[in-house]
Amino acid sequence: MTAPQIPERARREDARAFAELVGLDPRSVRALEIVLDGIWATIFATDAEGRRIAVGEDAACHRIFIPFDAEVS
């Protein structure tokens, strides 16, 4: 069995562009995970003034799921 070809590195600007493409502010994204039926996004939690909320020494986050549109054939 052979593994698929995997690039050594990815460009940060491509990841930021992808976040924007799916409607997210790249500055608010901590992580993105693409799965078969959609995208899991981990987003920094913010207060009413837009400041990130701390939890101990880490940032509070929301984990949201963005489903893919149903395919039409």
pLDDT of res. 73: 64
The 10s digit of each residue's pLDDT in 13-68 is 999 999 999 999 999 999 999 999 999 999 999 999 999 999 999 999 999 999 99
Contact between 70 and 53 under an 8 Å Cβ cutoff? The reply is no
Number of Cβ within a 10 Å radius of residue 19: 19
**Alpha-carbon Rg of the chain, whole angstroms?**
15
> Does pLDDT of 10 surpass 80?
yes
- At residue 21, what are phi and psi to the nearest 5 degrees? -60, -35
Q: Which residues of 20-44 are buried (b: 16+ CB within 10 A; e: fewer)?
A: eeeebeeebbeebeeeeeebebebb
Task: Look up the pTM and report it.
Answer: 0.80
pLDDT category of residue 1 using cuts at 50, 70 and 90: confident
